[in-house]
Amino acid sequence: MYRTTVKLALFCVIATLSISCKTKAQTTDTTTVEKREQQRGQERPKNGQRPSVEELFAKMDTNKDGKLAKTEVKGPLQKDFAKIDSNGDGFISAEELEKAPKPNRQGPPNRN
């Protein structure tokens, strides 16, 4: 009887630790991904939609001059900077950004 009780107690402790470690790992993974996205300036909008022109300028226009230099932009804007800068002045205005074609995002595959 004593051995059975000890084995059962040991099993419960191991199971609890295992579940605790797994939960901690999942929380850490999510937090790490969110931190990386924020560092890159690509925080996901909460509603799942693309950020508006105003939101992009609020995040990226670091010197608040009302236009985006190539050094201020990140992600698809940086890649397509020359295409979006239609007047070739080296900056992206709000008007240019509104008229720009939307990037073709390829996110992770659906897990349905």
Q: Which pLDDT does position 7 carry in this prediction?
A: 76
Of the chain, the percentage scoring pLDDT greater than 90 comes to 29
Taking 70 as the threshold, does the pLDDT of residue 86 lie above it? yes
**Amino acid of residue 83:** K
**Amino acid of residue 108:** P
Q: What is the average pLDDT score of the chain? A: 75
Chain segment 59-70, per-residue pLDDT in tens:
999 999 999 999
Average pLDDT over residues 11-31: 62
Average pLDDT over residues 61-89: 91
Average pLDDT over residues 21-28: 53
> Torsion angle, CA of 58/63/66/68, rounded to 10 degrees?
-80
| Beta bridge partner(s), residue 55 | none
Confidence (pTM): 0.51
